[in-house]
Amino acid sequence: DSGVTQTPKHLITATGQRVTLRCSPRSGDLSVYWYQQSLDQGLQFLIQYYNGEERAKGNILERFSAQQFPDLHSELNLSSLELGDSALYFCASSSSSGSYNEQFFGPGTRLTVL
């Protein structure tokens, strides 16, 4: 158990819909990262927040947005869903924002768009 929690575990929805994925980082970790992993693919970095502020942005679509709240939990919002958005979404946390920090991954949310 990494100490990072993600809800829900599974999500099935239809094209055009909007969903929210939630992540609680390890106790004391200020950085939260979101990744997308499509079937048999690597981990695509989406976005990083540090202590409530956006720190780095990867290949995140405009239909996707995220935020980190004062209690440090984070939410990833996916809207106007398409079939290709079906994937495993991982949240990870680390103690700080810069280099040299190992990331602790949550169990992931499996999103299926029908």
Partner 1 sequence: GQQVMQIPQYQHVQEGEDFTTYCNSSTTLSNIQWYKQRPGGHPVFLIQLVKSGEVKKQKRLTFQFGEAKKNSSLHITATQTTDVGTYFCAGQESRRALTFGSGTRLQVQP
Nearer to partner 1, 70 or 84 (CB): 84
Nearer to partner 1, 5 or 79 (CB): 5
- Least distance in angstroms from the C-beta of 20 to partner 1: 20
If DSSP states are collapsed to H, E and C, what string results for the chain? CCCCEEECCEEEECCCCCEEEEEECCCCCCEEEEEEECCCCCCEEEEEEECCEEEEECCCCCCEEEEECCCCCEEEEECCCCHHHCEEEEEEEECCCCCCCCCEECCCEEEEEC
Nearer to partner 1, 64 or 104 (CB): 104
- Least distance in angstroms from the C-beta of 16 to partner 1: 29
- Least distance in angstroms from the C-beta of 28 to partner 1: 16
- Least distance in angstroms from the C-beta of 8 to partner 1: 15
Nearer to partner 1, 73 or 110 (CB): 110
